Amino acid sequence: MVLPNKYAMSLEENIFIAKRILVDSVYQQANLEGIGVTFVDTQDILNNINVGTLSPTEISKVCCLRDGWDYLLSHIDSPTDLIFIENLHEIVARFDVPYQYLGKLREDDVIISGTKWRPELPEADKIFHKLNSVPDQNHMTDHALELGLWLMRCQPFKDGNKRIGSYVINKILIQNGCGIFNVPVKLDGKFKQYLVDFYETNDPDFLKQWIFEHCMDGTHEI
């Protein structure tokens, strides 16, 4: 199944929207990562206001998500290649994995909550070629979701792979004026279950369609 594009914006319009809803994007990403932060808490953290209900580590992780968006938008014209995701991982996972593993492809197995399925060890050449595949320019939304979900499933790093996949989806969407991907907090549970189902079956069609219907935002809908 190949999805059509849902939105048709200019690059400038899409960047403007991404910046305008940045707090909401970080808020939703944080909750997806298990950080029980409110929208107001997120807004305060990004405005450098102390939030006493969260631990210093939780606050730092929220800031990492913001920094990931800053890196994405400042490199919007750069290739979405292996160097990009390695640098991005150093930013967004710096409070989740030991320093020596930041930006490094994993060399041992990982355990994924909710399933006994295990991904193979990542191969740099395979990831390089996947990231550099030439997409159909008329179906960039489908390409973004395919690539981002593939990265989540192959688990190239020791941790933070869902975040990396999400940023890659958004980078490709924004580059092509196709909108923003965010999982609404109320749909966290469904997304995680559908993601596990995808891990086990390697069939992304249902999850792609569900994301298309429930997790995309933008203007100038087609």
Q: What is the C-alpha to C-alpha distance for residues 51 and 42, in angstroms, rounded to an integer?
A: 9
Q: What is the pLDDT of residues 4-62, one digit of tens each?
A: 999 999 999 999 999 999 999 999 999 999 999 999 999 999 999 989 899 999 999 99
Under 8 Å CB-to-CB from 161, ≥6 apart: which residues?
A: 151, 152, 154, 155
In CATH, what number is assigned to the domain containing residue 159?
1.10.3290.10
134: pLDDT strictly greater than 90 = no
Q: Is residue 2 part of a domain?
A: no
Q: Is residue 5 part of a domain?
A: no
Number of folded domains in the chain? 1
Confidence band, pLDDT 50/70/90 cuts, at residue 211: very high
Q: In angstroms, what is the C-alpha Rg of the chain? A: 17
Q: Is residue 62 part of a domain?
A: yes
Summarize the confidence of residues 135-153 as an average pLDDT.
95
Q: Is residue 1 part of a domain?
A: no
Altogether, the residues listed in the chain come to a count of 222
Q: What is the pLDDT of residues 152-181, one digit of tens each?
A: 999 999 999 999 999 999 999 999 999 999
Q: What is the pLDDT of residues 76-110, one digit of tens each?
A: 999 999 999 999 999 999 999 999 999 999 999 99
Which pLDDT does position 201 carry in this prediction? 97
Q: Is residue 107 part of a domain?
A: yes
Which pLDDT does position 24 carry in this prediction? 98
Q: What is the DSSP letter of 65?
A: H
Summarize the confidence of residues 172-199 as an average pLDDT.
98
Confidence band, pLDDT 50/70/90 cuts, at residue 138: confident
Q: Is residue 69 part of a domain?
A: yes
CA-to-CA dists, residue 65 to 29, 92, 156, 163, 200, angstroms: 8, 6, 19, 9, 28
133: pLDDT strictly greater than 90 = no
136: pLDDT strictly greater than 90 = no
Q: What is the C-alpha to C-alpha distance for residues 171 and 32, in angstroms, rounded to an integer?
A: 19
Alpha helices in 132-182 (DSSP H): 140-154, 161-175
Q: What is the C-alpha to C-alpha distance for residues 54 and 60, in angstroms, rounded to an integer?
A: 10
Task: Name the residue type at position 83.
Answer: I
Q: Is residue 4 part of a domain?
A: no
52 touches 34 (CB < 8 A): no
At which residue do the structure tokens 């390695």 appear?
A: 86
Q: What is the C-alpha to C-alpha distance for residues 129 and 183, in angstroms, rounded to an integer?
A: 28
Phi/psi of residue 120, nearest 5 degrees: -70, 165
CA-to-CA dists, residue 108 to 76, 98, 176, angstroms: 31, 14, 35
Burial annotation 130-161 (CB, 10 A radius, 16+ → b, else e): ebeeeeeeebbbbbbbbbbbbbbbbbbbbbbb
Range of the domain at 121: 11-217
Q: Is residue 200 part of a domain?
A: yes
At which residue do the structure tokens 């159909």 appear?
A: 136
